[in-house]
């Protein structure tokens, strides 16, 4: 696939922010995977390695002082780009009281109200109506916000997805639905379970414009999300983006991913979103290889510090069972 990276059109600081966010996600996720292998992290853990350009590029197109993010259980990357402290994130994965949900949510339920990161949701497709409700709140209160609602290709046939799109169009809600199509619903290729292979056309049934986006190109993700956000903010209209991406690890840490070939994985590793942007910036003399190495080393250190913070943090006491319970 031939990709265009017109990096010369952007400010250096903006490009560096995109690059740094993607490297941050990659190094923290690699460290999380390592800690899971050492049994420091329990339960489910779904890594975002390979999909970094999706959260990074799309969240760069919104204003988190007034906009909102809701996503799936593969939520670490979104939380980091929204500004969650890596140590707080890692502490949540470790089940410690210093985590964003006091250790009660774990990997699949990251949440930060102040940063407008409203989860992290463990049930496939369950958050799509919730995100639609946030968009309704924005319209009802005549606010200036927009909602980004992420979900995977495995959620595309859930009734909640179709019902939400129908309601969003009836009410003209300021929301952008983003399908992160990483090719596999758990261990099954999406083409084996869907009569429609280009998901972006599905929204046409509800009168909502759809667009397919290259999820390995962070600049394309940013530009297409920016257009959709502009439409939502200025016209109050919903839209749908199918962002084609790829995960380099299994569905979760317990998945050896034997359902795909080494050749397929290597083909997508040649399309690494971090290296694609880095190489384009180096080619245009925006950064050097040495500068990139310093960035990479910096975030390896950040990931190590996050683990240190999590390990030093306290476990929740038994009394925590009765705290934060709404009844």
Question: For 165-213, how does the pLDDT look when each residue is reduced to its tens digit (9 = 90+)?
Answer: 999 999 999 999 999 999 888 888 888 888 888 899 999 999 999 999 9
* Res. 108 pLDDT band, cuts 50 70 90: very high
pLDDT at 327: 64
β partners of residue 180: 152, 243
Query: 130-150: buried (b, 16+ CB within 10 Å) or exposed (e) per residue?
Result: bbbbbbbebeeeeeebbbbbb
Tell me which fold the domain 7-314 belongs to.
Answer: Rossmann fold (3.40.50)
Q: Rounded to an integer, what distance in angstroms lies between the CA atom of residue 252 and that of residue 230?
A: 34
Q: 253 vs 8, 60, 300, CA distance in Å?
A: 39, 28, 20
Has residue 1 got a pLDDT over 70? no
What is residue 112's DSSP assignment? B
Q: Are 274 and 22 in contact (CB under 8 A)?
A: yes
In this structure, are residues 27 and 147 in contact, taking their beta carbons and an 8 Å threshold? Answer: no
For 114-170, write each residue's pLDDT tens digit. 999 999 999 999 999 999 999 999 999 999 999 999 999 999 999 999 999 999 999
66 touches 148 (CB < 8 A): no
pLDDT score of 293: 98
pLDDT tens, residue by residue, 300-309: 999 999 999 9
- Output DSSP code: residue 321: G
pTM: 0.95
């Amino acid at each position: 696939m031939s990709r265009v990276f017109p990096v010369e059109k952007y400010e250096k600081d903006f490009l560096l922010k995109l690059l740094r966010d993607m490297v941050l996600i990659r190094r923290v996720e690699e460290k999380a995977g390592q800690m899971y292998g050492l049994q420091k992290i329990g339960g489910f853990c779904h890594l975002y390695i390979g999909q970094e350009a999706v959260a990074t590029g799309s969240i760069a197109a919104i204003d988190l002082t007034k906009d909102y993010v809701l996503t799936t259980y593969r939520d670490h990357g979104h939380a980091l780009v929204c500004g969650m402290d890596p140590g707080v994130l890692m502490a949540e994965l470790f089940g410690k009281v210093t985590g964003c949900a006091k250790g009660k949510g774990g990997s699949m339920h990251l949440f930060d109200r102040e940063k407008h990161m409203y989860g992290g949701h463990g049930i496939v497709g369950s958050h799509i109506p919730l995100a639609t409700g946030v968009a309704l709140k924005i319209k009802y209160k005549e606010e200036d916000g927009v909602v980004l609602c992420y979900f995977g290709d495995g959620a595309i046939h859930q009734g909640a997805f179709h019902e939400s799109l129908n309601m969003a169009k009836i009410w003209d809600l300021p929301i952008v639905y983003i399908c992160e199509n990483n090719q596999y619903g758990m261990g099954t290729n999406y083409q084996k379970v869907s009569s429609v292979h280009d998901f972006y056309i599905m929204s046409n049934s509800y009168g909502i414009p759809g667009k397919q986006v290259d999820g390995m190109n962070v600049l394309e993700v940013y530009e297409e999300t920016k257009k959709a956000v502009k439409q939502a903010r200025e016209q109050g209209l919903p839209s749908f983006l199918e962002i084609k991406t790829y995960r380099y690890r299994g569905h979760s840490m317990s998945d050896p991913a034997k359902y795909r070939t080494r050749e397929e994985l290597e083909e997508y590793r040649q399309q690494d979103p971090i290296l694609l942007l880095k190489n384009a910036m180096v080619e245009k003399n925006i950064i050097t290889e040495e500068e990139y190495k310093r960035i990479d080393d910096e975030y390896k250190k950040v990931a190590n510090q996050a683990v240190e913070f999590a390990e030093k943090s306290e476990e929740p006491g038994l009394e925590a069972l009765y705290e934060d319970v709404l009844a």
